[in-house]
A and B are shown apart, each in its own frame.
Chain A
Amino acid sequence: MSIRTRMTVVLAGAGALALLASCAPAPVAPGEVSGTLTVLDWAGYDAPDFWIDFQTTYPNATVNFEIGASDADIYSKMAAGDQADIFHPYTGWLQFYVDEGLVEEIDTSALTNWDQVPDSFKAIGQINGRQYFIPWDWGFTSVLYRTDMVPTGVDSWAALFDPAYAGHISMWDDGPGAVTISSYVHGYDETAITAEQLEAIKQEWIAQRDLNLFYWAGEPELIDAMAGGDVWVAYAWQGAYATLLGQGIPVAYANPSEGRNSWVGVYGIRKGTTNLDLAQRFLDAKLAPATGNNVVNLFYYGHANQAVMSGITDATLVDAFSVNDPGVLERTNFTPNLTADQRDAWTGMWAEVKAAP
């Protein structure tokens, strides 16, 4: 172990040196920047569309992708010593990276696109008062429903528990997501769920299984089931809404009285990376407009660059992001960060729901 500790010290030292080097005013022409970056990202983000600005600005740099299947997967891979330079967690799953010393603080002064990011988003990437992450993609979670099957409309998250839609409801396969919804419905404080409340939540979701057709894992699975008419009411992100709308399926995206949920995807740099300078350049390019426009137009996700969002003209997207409804963000609940205890308790609760008789 002592050897490994010493190695860590040496690596940390190297990291500090690299940090110093990156602060030094040594302007390099972008075309001369070379090197290889490894990004641990979610499936789909490896497509060059989503880092097109980096590709065009730094043609001599190489980017490799490792694929993570979920927030938990990405976190445990990083905790297991993954050597990726950059990784992509979402709100809720940020705190432990800092607690376990897995993430490097970001030098925002080096980011040319940083001014385009609204302060409310910047704050999401701050842990313990320091900017460890840069916000990148964001979106809503709400109830998506078929207007032909649910003519009365949906105005509450409680629709996911409504026996009227038995056999036609689909929930996302996720424990923390389930706790969030129950908290909205019952007015629990999401950051301070008690053991009794968690037990009640568990029983509630066990009972909900009789109404729920299946738990969706990937968006296409949900989209196909809604288009085919098997699912009428679902927990969904706005991407599913925009896709179905684009295909002419009669769907609507609820504005629940409890408020929508909103999530933000952020990028972090691994502590101890030897590629700090290149990693910062990558993150800066991630915030640039061409990349942002691709995120909006191809995936129907929001982007942290304000100029990109205010440039949206497509009617479906305007609707999906409620661009014309300035009040919607005030009625939106951002996902708070989980502690390690909450993570273990909530995911364990969900496993018990799925295993229940």
Chain B
Amino acid sequence: MLDRRPTFWALTLPPLVWLGAFFLTPLAMMAAFSTRPDLRGRLMDPWVPSLHQYEVLLSVPSYGRLLAISAGLAFVVALCATVLAYPVAYYLAFRKGRRTGTLLILLLLPFWTSYLLRVTAWKFILGSSGVLNSLLLYLGWIREPIEALLYNRQAVAITLVYVWIPFAALPILAALQRLDPSLLEAAADLGAPPVRRFLRIVLPLSLPGVLGTFFMVFIPTVGEYVTPLLVGGSRGSLYGNIIQDFFTKAANWPFGSALSMVMLVTTLALLAVAVRVVDLRRFIE
């Protein structure tokens, strides 16, 4: 219905140009960079393309395995964050009173405090001599401090879900806010109990927001590296940490680029499968 060409192009061209210049071009450079045999010589000088980095990558099975683990963890985190965020969005969308905006900002405000500092504090809650353990010991519920709360992969997942919930609520909230209240009223008038009203009307109509949330959490979590660094311990590294290391600790940008390209293609493939399964057209149409 937006078949008026001038409007179409006026809306499409600016994002296309911007993404083309500052996203696709650097990405293409990165792809090219992954065919460098090493980082010797000046960075911008021409080189003979080779698949050396990819050969090295394939020769180390741990990397592929770690990518699978990271994708699996991202799936679980996205699922949990979406489920746990739904009630928050529901509350904000349908509560009485006019302060919804304030309550929303209250939810996002902690994110303006550095994540690094907040996770440092989070460690004082979960650490072996932390707030939670001290409390449980004091209450006599445990005899020894629980040490499994930090420095492992579960801790990474729990922390990620915790930090994602407020953001995850936003697409769901946006979807719920456009819900026509008269539909619910009509259903209520016809005697539909609340649970059925929710399952038959609210949930299906908010599905675009739910899917949006899921992908918004899943996609970046595949490449997550900060949280594992802070609470993952020696065994909690994710694929994103390995990429990060090759760029900032190893001065090996070509290999880091190759690792990134593999992750990019894998995530895209997963998304393509997801689109088939859930029929993403329902979301954007």
Q: Which of B40, B128, B241, B248 contacts A354 (CB 8 A)?
A: B241
In the assembled complex, which residues on chain A have CB atoms less than 8 Å from the CB atom of B277? none
In the assembled complex, A212 has its CB within 8 A of some CB on chain B: yes
Q: Is the CB of B251 within 8 A of A167?
A: no
With A76-B253, A343-B251 already in contact, the answer to whether A355 and B242 are too (CB < 8 A) is yes
In the assembled complex, A209 has its CB within 8 A of some CB on chain B: yes
With A347-B249, A355-B63 already in contact, the answer to whether A214 and B233 are too (CB < 8 A) is yes
In the assembled complex, B129 has its CB within 8 A of some CB on chain A: yes
Closest chain B residue to A340, Cβ basis:
B40
Q: Is the CB of A355 within 8 A of B60?
A: yes
Q: Kindly state the separation between the CA atoms of A1 and B60 in the bound complex, as whole angstroms.
A: 36
In the assembled complex, B42 has its CB within 8 A of some CB on chain A: yes
Q: Chain B's nearest CB lies how many Å from the CB of A144?
A: 18
Q: Is the CB of B129 within 8 A of A230?
A: yes
Q: Is the CB of B252 within 8 A of A348?
A: yes
Q: Is the CB of A1 within 8 A of B46?
A: yes
Q: Chain A's nearest CB lies how many Å from the CB of B80?
A: 24
Q: Kindly state the separation between the CA atoms of A100 and B127 in the bound complex, as whole angstroms.
A: 46
In the assembled complex, B237 has its CB within 8 A of some CB on chain A: yes
In the assembled complex, A80 has its CB within 8 A of some CB on chain B: yes
Give the interface centre of A70, A344, A351 by most chain B CB atoms within 10 Å: A351
Q: Is the CB of B62 within 8 A of A355?
A: yes
With A214-B151, A230-B129 already in contact, the answer to whether A79 and B250 are too (CB < 8 A) is no
In the assembled complex, which residues on chain A have CB atoms less than 8 Å from the CB atom of B60? 352, 355
Q: Is the CB of A72 within 8 A of B251?
A: yes
The digit string for B227-269, where 1 denotes a CB below 8 A from any CB of A, is: 0010011110101011001111111110100000000000000
In the assembled complex, A42 has its CB within 8 A of some CB on chain B: no
Q: Is the CB of B129 within 8 A of A70?
A: no
Q: Which B25-52 residues sit within 8 Å CB-CB of chain A? A: 38-46
Q: Chain A's nearest CB lies how many Å from the CB of B225?
A: 11
Q: Kindly state the separation between the CA atoms of A212 and B60 in the bound complex, as whole angstroms.
A: 23
Q: Which A208-230 residues sit within 8 Å CB-CB of chain B? A: 208-209, 212-215, 217, 224, 228-230
Q: Which of B38, B63, B233 contacts A344 (CB 8 A)?
A: B38
Q: Is the CB of A351 within 8 A of B45?
A: no
Interface SS majority for chain B:
loop
Q: Chain A's nearest CB lies how many Å from the CB of B209?
A: 36
In the assembled complex, B99 has its CB within 8 A of some CB on chain A: no
Closest chain A residue to B63, Cβ basis:
A355
Q: Is the CB of B128 within 8 A of A79?
A: no
In the assembled complex, which residues on chain B have CB atoms less than 8 Å from the CB atom of A71? 251
Q: Is the CB of A348 within 8 A of B250?
A: yes
Interface residues on chain A, number (Cβ under 8 Å): 41
Q: Is the CB of A347 within 8 A of B252?
A: yes
With A209-B235, A228-B127, A230-B129 already in contact, the answer to whether A352 and B62 are too (CB < 8 A) is yes
In the assembled complex, B5 has its CB within 8 A of some CB on chain A: no
Q: Kindly state the separation between the CA atoms of A209 and B233 in the bound complex, as whole angstroms.
A: 9
Q: Is the CB of A351 within 8 A of B248?
A: no
Q: Chain A's nearest CB lies how many Å from the CB of B133?
A: 11
Q: Is the CB of B250 within 8 A of A72?
A: yes
Q: Is the CB of A72 within 8 A of B44?
A: no
Q: Kindly state the separation between the CA atoms of A80 and B250 in the bound complex, as whole angstroms.
A: 14
Give the interface centre of A1, A73, A79 by most chain B CB atoms within 10 Å: A79
With A167-B147, A175-B249, A348-B255 already in contact, the answer to whether A354 and B237 are too (CB < 8 A) is yes
In the assembled complex, B65 has its CB within 8 A of some CB on chain A: yes
In the assembled complex, B211 has its CB within 8 A of some CB on chain A: no
Q: Which of A70, A344, A352, A354 contacts B252 (CB 8 A)?
A: A344
Q: Is the CB of B246 within 8 A of A347?
A: yes
Q: Chain B's nearest CB lies how many Å from the CB of A113?
A: 31
In the assembled complex, A81 has its CB within 8 A of some CB on chain B: yes
Q: Kindly state the separation between the CA atoms of A347 and B242 in the bound complex, as whole angstroms.
A: 11
The digit string for A166-193, where 1 denotes a CB below 8 A from any CB of B, is: 0100010111000000000000000000
Q: Is the CB of B251 within 8 A of A79?
A: yes
Q: Is the CB of B128 within 8 A of A230?
A: yes
In the assembled complex, A6 has its CB within 8 A of some CB on chain B: no
Would you list the 9 A-B pairs with minimal beta carbon distance, nearest first? A347-B250, A72-B251, A355-B62, A209-B234, A212-B234, A76-B251, A214-B233, A354-B237, A80-B43
The residues of A with any CB-CB pair to B shorter than 8 Å are 1, 4, 69-73, 75-76, 79-81, 100, 167, 171, 173-175, 208-209, 212-215, 217, 224, 228-230, 340, 343-344, 347-348, 350-352, 354-357
Given contacts A348-B252, A357-B62, could you give 13 more A-B pairs where the C-beta distance is less than 8 Å? A71-B251, A79-B42, A100-B41, A167-B147, A214-B151, A214-B233, A340-B39, A343-B250, A347-B250, A347-B252, A348-B250, A351-B250, A355-B65
Q: Can you list 24 pairs linking A and B with CB atoms under 8 Å apart?
A: A1-B45, A69-B248, A70-B249, A71-B251, A72-B249, A73-B248, A76-B251, A79-B251, A100-B41, A100-B42, A174-B249, A175-B249, A212-B233, A217-B229, A228-B127, A230-B129, A343-B251, A347-B251, A347-B252, A348-B250, A352-B60, A352-B62, A354-B234, A357-B62
